[in-house]
Structure 1
Amino acid sequence: MQTSTLDPLDFQIVRELQEDGRRAFREIARNVDVPEATVRTRVKRLQELGILQILAFTNPSKLGHAKLALLFVEVDPQDHDRAVDNLGRWSEVSYLSTILGGADLCVQVLCRDDEGLFALQQRIRALPGVRTVRTMHEVKVHKIRFTIPPVEPEE
């Protein structure tokens, strides 16, 4: 299902949940002026389609001794999918995307300490097809949020 097939009610429900992922369906229903059962059905459908996932974010700087880093990985084209599959299974990987530019993959990781970060970087370098890994230690996260872009006014 493409986002273009989502109707305005789907977007309203998602926005409500983006404000507070623990918001009760009853409250969402009141806010968007539909029955609670409609909200429940829509949320279930959006989850089943992989459009919506409700989860908790942690603040790495509040976890104590934790190292948050971005790794930019260059990988041979024929090994791209295998690298994505491997990295996607690693518990230290919190974000993984294919990018354009100076690297092929952007990998955000959370490790216990510098030694753990170094070991993880070495594991990535050992993956088949990996040419280079550039690491940037994230000192402080100022914002992390994926939201639906504002709706264009209808003419």
Structure 2
Amino acid sequence: MSKRRLDDVDEQILKFLSRDARISNRKIAAELGITEGTVRSRIKRMQDEKLIRITAVTNIEKLKNPCLAFIWVDVDYSSDVDQIAAQLSEIPAMGFVAKMLGRFDILAITLVQDTEQLTDFLHSNISTIKGIRRTETSLGVNFVKHDYRVSRIVG
């Protein structure tokens, strides 16, 4: 199955949706000079093909004491990276999991309120996974910039 590429109209629709996912199809159509039906069908196709997902995103800047916990994971055997990353991604509180190149094998990110919650999270979720050699954790506590659109499809 080949990956479908987004054309210019798809990209323009996504620019509107990335700024405000509640914008009406009629307004997008008027701005782009196309029909409302075209906008509706393209959004539906992109959703059906899992190219986009329209969802609410928590504004991290409005949370009381947000701390992003960056959990760097080193595994025992490189052959276990896929399986351990999959286990980490199954943890509901985990917002991001990626296989990495460099010093660590996996980066996992979650949101915590304080170091006590982080400690509980690490002991109850991370330390129970077999094959993890060690972890190193960093906390993001002052957010200079948080652009939720960073996860937008870029083509």
Question: Which of the five TM-score ranges fits, normalised by the shorter chain?
Answer: 0.7 to 0.9
Match of 2:135 in 1: 133
SS at match of 1:91: coil
Match of 2:38 in 1: 38
Listed as ranges, the gaps of 5+ residues in structure 1 are none
1:53 Cα offset (Å): 1.6
| Residue identity opposite 1:110 in structure 2 | L
Listed as ranges, the gaps of 5+ residues in structure 2 are none
CA contact (8 A) 2:28 2:39 kept: yes
Q: CA RMSD in A?
A: 2.1
CA contact (8 A) 2:72 2:137 kept: yes
Match of 1:21 in 2: 21
Cα shift readout 1:20-68 (whole Å, capped 9, x = no counterpart): 1111111111111111111111111111222212222223353224432
| Residue identity opposite 1:96 in structure 2 | V
Question: 2:33, 2:141 → 1: CA distance?
Answer: 43
Cα shift readout 1:78-131 (whole Å, capped 9, x = no counterpart): 222222222222222112222211112211101233222112223313312112
| TM-score, normalised relative to structure 2 | 0.83
Count of residues paired in the alignment: 149
Could you say which structure has the greater relative contact order, defined with CA pairs below 8 angstroms and 6 or more residues apart? 2
| TM-score, normalised relative to structure 1 | 0.83
| Identical positions, percent | 31
Question: 1:60, 1:9 → 2: CA distance?
Answer: 31
CA contact (8 A) 1:99 1:105 kept: yes
CA contact (8 A) 2:66 2:141 kept: no
